[in-house]
């Protein structure tokens, strides 16, 4: 597969669409399945890592200086945890959307493959 075809297939799968050329449908199905596996493996660990990092940075850069200056502020601590939880949710939602698009691309390209096989008989 040449670079242009690979780019077209990748763009179609990323958008949740079927490829235009039925000859590329098998490659698109494989790419969609690979994308699904990768997303399923990486969404949760990435969301945890990013949101935990934001909470730690918040606590170090905002809550700790405020606490040292004026005493413990539960609102500052709660805000850091809240921001981390919100970010975690957003990352999970975006990951699920990408997973949905990869599944839709797989289904559409499988249908394209089936139509091509039935038409070739």
35-69 tens-digit pLDDT: 999 999 999 999 999 999 999 999 899 888 888 88
Q: How do residues 1-30 score in pLDDT, each as one tens digit? A: 789 989 999 999 999 999 998 889 999 999
pTM, two decimals, is 0.79
Residue 58: give the domain boundaries: 3-119
- How many angstroms separate the Cα of 85 from the Cα of each of 19, 51, 117? 37, 7, 48
Q: For the chain, give the mean pLDDT.
A: 90
Q: How do residues 88-120 score in pLDDT, each as one tens digit? A: 999 999 999 999 999 999 999 999 988 877 655
Predicted confidence at residue 73, as pLDDT, reads: 80
Q: Which two tokens stand for residue 68?
A: 């040292």
Q: Which two tokens stand for residue 4?
A: 């242009």
Q: How far is CA 107 from the centre of its chain?
A: 18
Alpha carbons 95 and 91: distance in angstroms, whole number? 6
The tally of domains found in the chain comes to 1
């Amino acid at each position: 597969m040449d670079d242009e075809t690979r780019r077209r297939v990748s763009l179609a799968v990323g958008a949740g669409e079927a490829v235009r050329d039925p000859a590329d449908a098998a490659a698109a199905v494989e790419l969609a399945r690979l994308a699904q596996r990768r997303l399923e493996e990486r969404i949760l660990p990435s969301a945890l890592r990013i949101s935990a990092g934001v909470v730690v940075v918040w606590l170090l850069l905002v809550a700790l200086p405020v606490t040292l200056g004026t005493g413990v502020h539960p609102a500052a601590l709660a805000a850091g945890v809240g921001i981390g939880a919100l970010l975690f949710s957003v990352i999970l939602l975006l990951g699920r959307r990408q997973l949905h698009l990869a599944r839709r691309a797989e289904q559409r390209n499988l249908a394209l493959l089936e139509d091509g096989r039935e038409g070739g008989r």
